Each structure stands twice: as C-alpha cells, then as structure tokens.
Amino acid sequence: HLSARLASVASLVPLNARIADIGSDHAYLPAALVLDGKIKFAIAGEVVKGPFENAVHEIQAHQLEENIIPRLADGLAAIKDKDNIDTITIAGMGGSLIASILERGKDKLEGVKRLILQPNVGESSLREWLMNNRYQITTEKIIEEDGHIYEIIVAEPSIVPFRYSQYELDFGPFLLENKGPIFVKKWREYLQREGQVINQMKQAKKIPVDKIDQLQRRLEIVK
C-alpha cells in the first residue's frame, strides 16, 4: 500500500513500462507497480547500503526477484544497457540532487522516454535542468499528504528545445495554469513564511538592505 505521494508517482507510470527507480529505498514504488500488474520489470537503484538492503528485503518478502533487480549504485549507474529502461522515477529528494543525478548519468538517458520526478524542494532548478537538456514537461501534479505539499513533474525528450519563462520554472507551467487549491495553499504558506523571515531580518538591522529588497521583490512576484 503506497503513500498518496508515491501513488501519485505510480499513476504516471505507463502500462508495461520498464522502470528504473533511483533512490528506491524500500522499493515500495516498483513493488506496488509489479503487484498491481502494471509493470513486469524494474531496477531499484540505491547508493546507500541500508536502504539497498531494505529494497532487497521488500523484493524477497513479495517474491518479486524475477521482476525487480536491486542494484547498489550511484544514480543512473544502476542502469545497464540490456535493461532497456524506458521510464525513470526519482522521488523524495531535493530538486538539485535529482538534476545532478540526471546530469551525471546523461549517457544512460538515451532511449528513456519518460522521467517522473518528485522533488521535495528545489523544483525550479530541476525544471531549469529539464529545459536546458531538451526535455518538455508534459504533466505536473501537486498533492498534499500529512501536512506536506509535493510536486510531481513528468518530462519527455523533445526534438525542439522548449523555453519556459522564469514564472513557469518557479511555479510549474501546468500548475500555474490550473492554480488549484493545493497550489494556492502552497504559495500562500510560502508568502506567510517568507514575510515573517523578512520582518525578522528588518528587525535584526544587520542584514544588508539590498538583500532584504531582493527577498521583498521575490515576495511580490509570488503574490
């Protein structure tokens, strides 16, 4: 049984996809996808021994050894050519870490048709990496679970380079268009938090004025 966050990631995986779930920890995502009959093959990549062992354990517990291969490796090094991976999922990390995993594993991205990414923070820098590497964002989701708000970004390689405005990079082209209740909540909370930070800075008097101005301008944009 998946968390709402991972269930949302799972819902974006195409039927019979061959997936590499990077930073898989317990391999909950690929395990649920196989048990649901949605996919037959997955790699569960982990760079840390403890989480890797969690994955091994989960795979054994459900007898999924035929379907899910755990690999102890850094980022996309978990992927081998013969795996014929067409979909990569990376969830539960910062956006800049996800971007660096993609950047360092560029040679493994050939043949991959879809990236399903769930950054916990730093969505903007991840979108920027996607744009600069000829990916087109095809879907976005925003969900709330246990008081946390998560964004999920789906991207596919495009022949023509896609340009996004700074607004779209910051807020997400699809999320910005829909402006749903969770999106509004996320940015209202952001405004409240940042407003408090700026007030505290003003009171502290030690922060350079131009730094405060910069934050203030950003606040106005979000507003």
Q: Of 53, 67, 92, 176, which lies in the binding site for ligand SAM, with binding defined by CB under 6 A?
A: 92
Q: Of 70, 75, 105, 119, which lies in the binding site for ligand SAM, with binding defined by CB under 6 A?
A: 75
- Count the Cβ atoms, other than its own, within 10 Å of residue 84: 11
Of 121, 155, 157, 115, the C-alpha closest to 139 is 155
Q: Please compute Rg for the chain using Cα positions.
A: 19
d(C-alpha 193, C-alpha 64), whole Å: 45
Q: Of 48, 61, 197, 209, which lies in the binding site for ligand SAM, with binding defined by CB under 6 A?
A: 48
Q: Is 46 in the site for ligand SAM (CB under 6 A)?
A: yes
Which C-beta is closer to ligand SAM: that of 43 or that of 137? 43
> Among the candidate windows 45-53, 59-67, 79-87, 169-177, which touches ligand SAM by CB under 6 A?
45-53
Contact at 8 Å (CB) between 113 and 156?
yes
Q: How far is the CB of 22 from ligand SAM (least distance, A)?
A: 5
Q: How far is the CB of 3 from ligand SAM (least distance, A)?
A: 7
Q: Is 112 in the site for ligand SAM (CB under 6 A)?
A: no
Query: Angle at Cα 201 formed by Cα 195 and Cα 204, nearest 5°?
Result: 145
Q: Is 30 in the site for ligand SAM (CB under 6 A)?
A: no
Q: How far is CA 150 from CA 42, 117, 121, 214, in A?
A: 24, 11, 8, 26
Q: Is 8 in the site for ligand SAM (CB under 6 A)?
A: no
Phi, psi of 68 (to 5 degrees): -120, 125
Which C-beta is closer to ligand SAM: that of 25 or that of 128? 25
Of 108, 77, 87, the C-alpha closest to 21 is 87
Q: How far is the CB of 50 from ligand SAM (least distance, A)?
A: 8
Partners of residue 66 on adjacent β-strands: none
Q: Is 105 in the site for ligand SAM (CB under 6 A)?
A: no
d(C-alpha 86, C-alpha 183), whole Å: 30
Q: How far is the CB of 110 from ligand SAM (least distance, A)?
A: 19
E strands of 14-147, at which residues? 18-22, 41-46, 68-72, 87-93, 114-119, 135-145
Q: Is 22 in the site for ligand SAM (CB under 6 A)?
A: yes
Q: Is 74 in the site for ligand SAM (CB under 6 A)?
A: yes
Q: How far is the CB of 141 from ligand SAM (least distance, A)?
A: 14
Q: How far is the CB of 49 from ligand SAM (least distance, A)?
A: 9
Positions that interact with ligand SAM (CB under 6 A): 6, 22-25, 45-48, 51, 74-75, 91-93, 101
